[in-house]
Structure formats: C-alpha cells, structure tokens
Amino acid sequence: MINRSLIAFIASLAATTGQAELRPDYQVHGFAAQGFVLTDGNNLFGDSQDGSFDLREMGINAQWQPLNGFGISGQLLSRRAGAVDDGSPRVDFLFADLALQQMATDGREVGLRLGRVKNPFGLFNETRDVVFARPSILLPQSIYYDGEGLRSLLFSVDGVQLYGQFDHGAHFTQVTMNYALNFTLSEDEKRELFGGTPPAGDVRVSRYSVTRAMTDWQAGVFRTAATLLTARLDLSLQGMPPQMFDASIALFSARWNLARLSLFGEYSLVTFSGETTTRSDGGYLQGEYRFSPGLTGFARLGARFLDRNDRDGSAFASATGLPAHTRYGRAAATGLRWQIDSQWGISGEWHAINGSGTVPALDNPDSDRESPWHALLIMAGYRF
C-alpha cells in the first residue's frame, strides 16, 4: 500500500521534471454482478449441483491526477466465489503512476508505477474481475486458474511496474515489467493453494516478476503478446522437509478483430523445478460474433494438462490408483452476452467438460470428482 512519504516523494519528483502543472482530474467507476451456477458431477462456485448464487462481484475504482504526469489509481473489490472467495473487501490494486517521458507526436510514453500493481498477464488478467471486460463469465481455466489457488497470486502484487509504449509505422507496442517485493502467503492463500487446510508453516515467495510485450497492427486488427512470469517458492511446513521450487509461466497470446468477428487464443507452459522438474500446459481458442451492437455470441475450445508428458493421466493412475481424469480438463463452451445499454448487461453460457483437473478443490472437499460434467452460468451486471 502506498504511504504518505512515498506519495510525497513521487509528487516532488514529478515537480522536478517540470511537469507539475495542477490538473485536479479524477474519475470514479464501479460495478456489481450477480451470478447463478448449475452443474452436474462437480461443484463450481458453491454447492452448484443444487444451484448456487454464490458468485458475486462488486467493486469501486478511482483515478486521480493531481499533477500533469502524476496520478493515483486504486480499486476496492468484494468477490464471492463459493468456498474459494468469501466476499471480504480487499484492495485489488492501489498505485502511484509517474510518467517519466511523454511524446505525443509518436505515441511514446515511459512510466513508473509503485504500490499494489496489476500483473500484465495475457489478454484478460488486468480486467478479469469485471464481467463486462472479460470474454465470458468463466475465464478459460486452461490459462487463468480460478479454481487452483493461483488467482490471487496472478492478479496483482506489491512492488514496482515499469511500462513503455510507442508507435512504429502500422504497429503499436507496449512493454510492461512488474517486480514484486518478497512476501509470505496468507492463510487464505495457502488454503486455496493446497485445496484445504494446509500444514502449519510458511510459504514464502521471492524473485517474483512478470514481463509482457504486446504489439498491435493496423489499429488493433491484429494483436500478439508474450508473457513470462517467474518466482521462487520456499516451503517451510510442519511435518515436511524444507522445499524450494523455481516456477515459471510462459504465455503466448494472439487476437484478430474484424467488424463482426473476433478470433483469439492463448497457450501457456508452466514449469516447476525443484528436486525434479514438472511441466504442465494448456490453451484455448475462442471465436466471438457480434450479431448486433448489443448482442454477442461466443464458442470456445480449451484444454489443460497437469503433466504434459502424461496428457491422458494414465501414468498417474497406474502409479497412484486415482482416476486419470483428475490430471486434465478438456472443455467446450458457448454463450451469449446481451449489453442492454451502457450500464446493464446479462450473460449466459454452457460448458461441457471432460476431465476434472480444473475442478476447485475447496468447493469439492469430501466428494470424488466426476468426469464428464457440465456447467450452466448466468450473470447480470451493472456498471457506472
């Protein structure tokens, strides 16, 4: 969180650059959305096999620019998502933004953000909490891991963000780099990561960084991006020997926009290196068609494999006696979004899933996971 001395320092730095023209500009926006989830076989966002309303998002965000080239942005969020998230208010992001260089003639800009900053991860991580700004109610679980205890680690971190953007011919390129302070997982984060009550002890995260390079062609008709996240995890847990892992996620994204049709997809490779090295991967391809300015339909195919060398889970099943389908998730989804007006919208979607590798463990603590299974999600949202 940003303290007074940090704000004072950045404000004085902005003044020394000759950009301290008073500009008391501010914006305040908010959103609220309520969802309903019905599934068979496994629970998702609550006791969804009986129908669950435990999917709710509310947030308010603000931007304030007291000086030319210096601003502050933040968002307070309450998210209810079954047993995974209890709806307690939290600061999603809160940072000071200092423009170090602005060149309006060629679109060049270089800046620095300090505080709790959003991670530049893929196409949708920075807007994942707002149903209007993501491609579906349920994001592709092959990439964004809502049920695997990684969501809070992916969204934002306390640290520094360097960013730059510039035009070059028909291209517009953005490069964003996050460096996080070392931190220890909270009890809630440990519970999500372990899928239940974790052993006593600490999970410390260090060397956490996220870098994304993204380029648009022809005013956004084509977009490509490459993201690299790296971190070190040190586990000091009761009843277990100390362990250290180096983790990385390499993510590749692409999008093609036409007047009515959009095609986009992402692929990620996750590596954990300790005494042994394991790799998982996943990806999806999604198409959207705009029937009218307010009505959009989508179809998506995706898959995630917890071990890319054992994609069908057969080796895992032979070694453990557990079901092979717990090691993968192959999903097909389709849905509609109706943007009623600039403030109100409603979405509905259907998912058919083969495999249970992406099932939230916290929503299914005492039950055997089933495969195949299906999910119906409906969500209505408001924004201002």
* Interval 67-105: pLDDT, tens: 888 999 999 999 999 888 888 999 999 999 998 877 655
The pLDDT of residue 109 is: 87
End-to-end alpha carbon distance in the chain: 25
Asked if the model's pLDDT at residue 314 lies above 90, the reply is yes
Asked if the model's pLDDT at residue 273 lies above 80, the reply is yes
Contact 157, 115 (CB under 8 A): no
Beta bridge partner(s), residue 158: 116
Q: Please give the DSSP secondary-structure letter assigned to residue 142.
A: H
What are the DSSP calls for 262-291, one per residue? Answer: EEEEEEEEEEEESSSEEEEEEEEEEEEEEE
The pLDDT of residue 1 is: 41
Which residues, including other chains, have CB under 8 Å from residue 307's CB and lie 6 or more apart? 278, 279, 280, 313, 315, 316, 327
Please state the rounded mean pLDDT for residues 370-380. 96
Mean pLDDT of the chain: 88
- Domains belonging to the chain, first-starting first, are 4-383 (2.40.160.10)
Nearest CA to 67 out of 27, 103, 98, 23 is that of: 23
Which residues, including other chains, have CB under 8 Å from residue 129's CB and lie 6 or more apart? 57, 59, 75, 77, 79, 92, 155
Largest Cα–Cα distance in the chain?
A: 68
Please state the rounded mean pLDDT for residues 314-326. 92
38 vs 354: CA distance, rounded Å: 17
Please state the rounded mean pLDDT for residues 228-250. 90
182 vs 246: CA distance, rounded Å: 14
The pLDDT of residue 318 is: 93
Please state the rounded mean pLDDT for residues 182-191. 83
The pLDDT of residue 9 is: 44
Asked if the model's pLDDT at residue 335 lies above 50, the reply is yes
Q: C-alpha distances in angstroms, 260 versus 234, 266, 280, 292?
A: 48, 21, 34, 8
Show the tokens assigned to 275.
Answer: 């005494």
Nearest CA to 264 out of 200, 216, 204 is that of: 216
Contact 97, 118 (CB under 8 A): no
| pLDDT grade for 194, boundaries at 50, 70 and 90 | confident
pTM across the whole model = 0.87
Extended beta strands in the chain, E state: 22-40, 52-67, 70-81, 85-86, 90-103, 108-118, 156-168, 171-180, 183-184, 201-217, 222-237, 243-257, 261-273, 277-292, 295-305, 328-339, 344-354, 373-383
